[in-house]
Amino acid sequence: MKVTFPRLGSMHIFCKAIAETAGIPYILPPETSRKTLTLGVLHSNECICLPFKIILGNFIEALQMGADTIVMVGSGPPCRLGLYDLVQKVILEDMGLHYRWLTIPPRFSWKALWKNHEETKDLRKELSARNVLFFPYGLWMGWKKMMACEALERLAMKVRPMELKKGETQKRLKKALSLVDEAKTQKTVEEAIQNGKTLLQEMEQDRSRIPFRVAIVGELYTVMDPHINRGVEQKLGELGVEVTRTSWFSTHILRSLRKNKADRASERVRFFEASKAYLGYDVGAECNISIGEAILRAQEGYDGIVHLMPFACMPETTASGILTKVGRDRDIPILTLILDEQEIEGRIQTLLEAFVEMLEWKRKAA
C-alpha cells in the first residue's frame, strides 16, 4: 500500500506527518507545476473548475510514481467539489491507472462513517498493528505541524510588507516550513516553530512603514494554494500589503468536526450572519462567507478586499456580483481575480499593482 493525497498549500506536511508517524507508506505528489496542470487539463472537461484539474494532475503524477491508494476529501451539493471524487475515479479508470479510493467525509455522520468503513475494508487488512497503534499519534502530530505551518504563514503575512529585501520573507518562510516538515517528535516540532519564528522576525525590516490591510476572500482552494492563485498573497505582501485570510486547513477541519463555536471557526459563523444583509439563503461553498467577511472587514477599517475565484465557479460567481454592491455600499475597494489555466501571472501582477496604487490614492485623499 502506498497512499497519496492532493498537494495543496502546506496540507501535504499534515498528511505526510500522519503517514510517517503511523509508518504508513506514502507517495508525495511532486510540487504542483505547469506539468501537473497540463495533465489535469488534458484529461478534464474544459468547463470544470481549476482546483479539479490541479488535483487530478496531482493524482496522475502520484499514481505514475507508484502510489496505489488515493485519499481525497468529499463534499456535498451544490458545489462541484461533491462530484470531484466520482468524476476523477472515472477519468483515472479510463486512463488505465489502478488505485483504491478513500473519501474523507466533509461532515462526520454515521452514513459517512459506514461508507468509510466499507472503503477501508481491504486497506485495513494491509495495515500492521504498528500502523493502527500509532495512527492517533500520527493525527496529533499532523495537527501540531499544521498549526505550526499556519502560525508561520500568518507571521510571514505580517512581516512581508516590511521586508527590505524583496522576496526575503518568502525565502525564510520556505526554510521555516521545511524545518517543521522535517521535525519528527513533539520536541523538535516546538523547536522548529521557535526557529522558524526567529528566522522571520530577525529579517531586516523597515518598521516605520504603515502597510495597507487587505483581506483575501473566496473559494477555499484558490485562497489557500499559492500555485492556484499564482502567489497572490506573496505579491500583495511585496507591494506593501498586510494580508489576512480566514480560510486555513484547520478552519475547514474544525468545520467538518462541527466545532463551529471554536476560535477561528466561530468567525465563519459571524461572516455567515453578516452575509444575511444581502443573501437570504446558503448558496454553498464559500459564497456567503466571502460576502460576510467583506462586510465585516469593511466595518473593521480594512483598506480593501481581494476576491479569488476559479473560472466558472458557481458559488463565487454569485458572490462576485453581490460583492460589487458590497464594495459600493460600504465604500471598500474590492478586486475580483478570476483564475483559470491560462498563463496569467503577469496580468495578475499588473492588476494587483493597480489595486495597491488605488489604495494609495484613497489613503492620500482621506
Nearest residue to ligand SF4, using CB? 313
Residue 310 engages ligand SF4 in binding (rule: CB under 6 A): yes
Residue 339 engages ligand SF4 in binding (rule: CB under 6 A): no
Residue 225 engages ligand SF4 in binding (rule: CB under 6 A): no
169 versus 290: smaller Cβ distance to ligand SF4: 290
Choose which of 92, 155, 313, 319 interacts with ligand SF4 (CB under 6 A): 313
Alpha-carbon distances, residue 155 vs 133, 176, 197, 244, 267 (angstroms) = 35, 11, 8, 11, 19
Between 43 and 82, how does the x/- string for binding to ligand SF4 read (CB under 6 A)?
A: ------x-x---------------------------xxx-
206 versus 282: smaller Cβ distance to ligand SF4: 282
Alpha-carbon distances, residue 255 vs 12, 184, 264, 268 (angstroms) = 19, 28, 10, 9
314 versus 351: smaller Cβ distance to ligand SF4: 314
Stretch that binds ligand SF4, among 26-34, 112-120, 311-319, 349-357 (CB under 6 A): 311-319
Dihedral sign for Cα atoms in the order 253, 257, 260, 263: negative
Instruction: Provide, for the chain, the percentages of residues in helix, strand and coil under a 3-state DSSP scheme, each rounded to the nearest 5.
Output: 60, 10, 30
Residue 83 engages ligand SF4 in binding (rule: CB under 6 A): no
Quote the DSSP letter at residue 342. S
Compute how many residues bind ligand SF4; rule: CB under 6 A: 13
Residue 283 engages ligand SF4 in binding (rule: CB under 6 A): no
83 versus 147: smaller Cβ distance to ligand SF4: 83
Residue 6 engages ligand SF4 in binding (rule: CB under 6 A): no
Phi, psi for 230 (deg, rounded to 5): 55, 40
Residues 6+ apart with CB under 8 A from 302: 213, 214, 215, 244, 332
Q: Are 228 and 339 in contact (CB under 8 A)?
A: yes
Give least dist CB 45 to ligand SF4, A. Answer: 12
Give least dist CB 2 to ligand SF4, A. Answer: 27
Tell me if the bond preceding 78 is cis, omega within 30° of 0: yes
How many residues are recorded in the chain?
366
48 versus 241: smaller Cβ distance to ligand SF4: 48
29-66 core/surface letters (b: 16 or more CB in 10 A; e: else): beebeeebbebbbebbeeebbbbbbbbbbbbbbbbeee
Site for ligand SF4, rule CB under 6 A:
49, 51, 79-81, 219, 221, 285, 310, 313-316
